[in-house]
């Protein structure tokens, strides 16, 4: 079947061998928080700040040991180059508050990530699920002590990120997302943004190593209970990032449902050296459903591949579904990201671009439609085989793990 597929793609000038070997090298950063419903290890409890995990499937990882075991099992069934995306709330054995976290609280994670052969660890300050989120605000709070606490937390996270970069000999992405906003019509939209700007300036001026840490800011349209106003919206962060030499993180659940991140990626690539992503699936809103192999996912992957941006676009996943087996959620989403990248690598981009420039839109449509039914499955199967990965049978492993490990967790 692979030989047949190879010929089918070759007829369009596509080299399946090249696609397979390129795919092996594209890292995908997988979020730790799918494993425990974004609860974390530092006592913050269930996610708050406009985000919510729904569902109550049995087997949630309740501690570091269980989370590590689940990650190890799930990641073993995901092909390709993997990074781990950690939130500060996953500090191990911390007896201090978040503003005093340091590398030692993440040393166990480093040991683990190295042991299971990961490419690196990415990091996030956790500015939700904490008593210092005052009236729903963090870095934009009118209370100077609150702002100071979170500024200190972000600076601590920058140093942890430097440590993570050193440990893996590769840059670490540190993404800043805050829940700040208002439920109802605000009386002042500007001042909170000016305070956020000042707070971020203070964080970035701490003297971190820009070669080691890529700082990103993640905008959002609204959160649950914060429907009327979001301090860190798209315009705010795009301008902030552009003016301060950092990068934007686009979460495809964070825009109006008729706005597409696939279209935003090339716009940012025209101006930025790096663009970070949270690939998710919003159903009617920022619902963080498991990533499926859908058109928009393919478009996102196509924009990365056809713009020669696999090293510029930092791909991360961000979803949390507690209504199904959490390992399966990880595996389905991460495999789909890989599938979409393979799909994108199997398109004859140069030929299609030439048709566009020649204004031959008829041929462009005809070929695009033909490409949709090429034997993609056989190339995917070959990729899995070469990486010694299972096909659809991965699910049997998860069922077994469910029976022997997850069912025991009461
Ligand atoms: C929230 C953002 C943010 C979080 C994670 C846990 O809307 O998407 O990225 O989901 O940091
Ligand atoms: Zn996100």
Q: Which helix (H) or strand (E) holds 203?
A: helix 190-204
Task: Note whether 282 and 272 are within 8 A (CB).
Answer: no
Tell me whether residue 337 is exposed, middle or buried, using C-beta atoms within 10 angstroms of its C-beta: 0 to 12, 13 to 18, 19 or more. Answer: buried
Task: Note whether 85 and 258 are within 8 A (CB).
Answer: no
Q: What is the DSSP string of 8-73?
A: HHHTTT--HHHHHHHHTT--EEEEGGGTTTT--SSS--S--SS-------S----SHHHHHHHHHH
Q: Distance, CA 171 to ligand 1 centroid (Å)?
A: 21
Could you give the residue numbers annotated as active site? 177, 218, 220, 251, 254, 278, 286, 288, 318
Please give the pLDDT value at position 410: 76
Tens digit of pLDDT per residue, the chain (410 long)? Answer: 999 999 999 999 999 999 999 999 999 999 999 999 999 999 998 898 899 999 999 999 999 999 999 999 999 999 999 999 999 999 999 999 999 999 999 999 999 999 999 999 999 999 999 999 999 999 999 999 999 999 999 999 999 999 999 999 999 999 999 999 999 999 999 999 999 999 999 999 999 999 999 999 999 999 999 999 999 999 999 999 999 999 999 999 999 999 999 999 999 999 999 999 999 999 999 999 999 999 999 999 999 999 999 999 999 999 999 999 999 999 999 999 999 999 999 999 999 999 999 999 999 999 999 999 999 999 999 999 999 999 999 999 999 999 999 999 97
Could you tell me how many residues make up the chain?
A: 410
First-residue to last-residue Cα distance in the chain = 45
Q: Distance, CA 317 to ligand 2 centroid (Å)?
A: 8
What atom in ligand 1 is closest to the CA of residue 249? Answer: 9
In a domain, residue 358? The reply is no
Question: CA-to-CA distance for 38 and 34, rounded, in angstroms?
Answer: 7
Tokens of 23: 């795919």
Structural domain containing residue 272: 26-347
What is the domain count for the chain?
A: 1
Please give the pLDDT value at position 173: 99
In a domain, residue 15? The reply is no
pLDDT, tens digit (0-9, with 9 covering 90-100), for 120-173: 999 999 999 999 999 999 999 999 999 999 999 999 999 999 999 999 999 999
Q: Is 279 in the pocket of ligand 1 (CB under 6 A)?
A: no
In a domain, residue 20? The reply is no
In a domain, residue 402? The reply is no
Q: Which residue has the tokens 């979803």?
A: 319
Instruction: 302-308: list long-range contacts, CB under 8 Å, 24+ apart.
Output: 302/262, 302/343, 302/344, 302/347, 302/349, 303/262, 303/263, 303/265, 303/266, 304/265, 304/341, 304/344, 305/341, 305/344, 305/345, 305/347, 305/349, 306/344, 306/347, 306/349, 306/353, 307/265, 307/266, 307/269
In a domain, residue 280? The reply is yes
Report the nearest-CA residue for atom 2 of ligand 1. Answer: 177
In a domain, residue 115? The reply is yes
In the chain, how long is the greatest CA-to-CA distance?
A: 66
Which ligand is closest to the CA of 31, given by its number? Answer: 1
pTM: 0.98
In a domain, residue 19? The reply is no
Please give the pLDDT value at position 62: 97
Q: Which helix (H) or strand (E) holds 317?
A: strand 313-317
Please name which of 232, 198, 230, 199 lies closest in space to residue 217, comparing C-alpha atoms. 232
What atom in ligand 1 is closest to the CA of residue 320? Answer: 10
- Number of other CB atoms surrounding residue 132 within 10 Å: 19
In a domain, residue 168? The reply is yes
Q: What is the CATH number of the domain that holds 198?
A: 3.20.20.150
Please name which of 307, 384, 292, 381 lies closest in space to residue 344, comparing C-alpha atoms. 307
């Amino acid at each position: 079947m692979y030989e047949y597929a190879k010929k089918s793609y070759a007829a369009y000038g596509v080299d399946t061998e090249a696609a397979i070997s390129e795919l092996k090298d594209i890292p995908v950063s997988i979020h730790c928080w799918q494993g425990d419903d974004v609860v974390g290890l530092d006592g913050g409890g269930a996610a708050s700040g406009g985000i919510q995990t729904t569902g109550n499937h049995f087997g949630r990882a309740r501690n570091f040991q269980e989370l590590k075991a689940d990650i190890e099992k799930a990641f073993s069934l995901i092909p390709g180059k993997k990074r781990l995306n950690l939130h500060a709330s996953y500090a191990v054995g911390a007896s201090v508050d978040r503003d005093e976290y340091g590398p030692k609280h993440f040393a166990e994670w480093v040991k683990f990530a190295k042991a299971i052969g990961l490419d690196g660890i990415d990091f996030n300050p956790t500015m939700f699920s904490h008593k210092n989120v005052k009236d729903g605000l963090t870095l934009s709070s009118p209370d100077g002590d609150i702002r100071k606490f979170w500024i200190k937390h972000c600076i601590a996270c920058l140093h942890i990120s430097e440590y993570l970069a050193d440990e893996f000999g590769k840059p670490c992405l540190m993404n800043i997302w805050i829940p700040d906003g208002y439920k109802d019509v605000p009386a002042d939209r500007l001042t909170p943004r000016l305070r956020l700007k000042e707070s971020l300036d203070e964080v970035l001026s701490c003297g971190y190593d820009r070669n080691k840490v890529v700082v990103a800011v993640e905008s959002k349209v609204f959160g649950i209970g914060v429907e009327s106003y979001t301090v860190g919206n798209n315009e705010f962060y795009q301008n902030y990032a552009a003016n301060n030499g950092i990068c934007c993180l686009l979460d495809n659940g964070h825009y109006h449902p008729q706005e597409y991140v696939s279209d935003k990626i090339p716009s940012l690539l025209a101006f930025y050296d790096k663009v970070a992503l949270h690939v998710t699936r919003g159903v009617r809103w920022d619902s963080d459903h498991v990533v499926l192999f859908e058109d928009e996912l393919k478009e996102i992957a196509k924009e990365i591949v056809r713009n020669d941006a696999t090293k510029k676009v930092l791909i991360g996943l961000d979803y949390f579904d507690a209504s199904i087996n959490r390992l399966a959620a990880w595996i389905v989403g991460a495999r789909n990201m890989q599938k979409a990248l393979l799909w994108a690598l199997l398109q004859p981009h140069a030929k299609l671009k030439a048709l566009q420039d020649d204004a031959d839109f008829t041929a462009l449509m005809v070929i695009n439609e033909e490409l949709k039914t090429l034997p993609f499955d056989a190339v995917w199967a070959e990729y899995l085989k070469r990486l010694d990965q299972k096909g659809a049978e991965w699910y049997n492993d998860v069922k077994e793990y469910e029976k022997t490990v997850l069912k025991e967790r009461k």
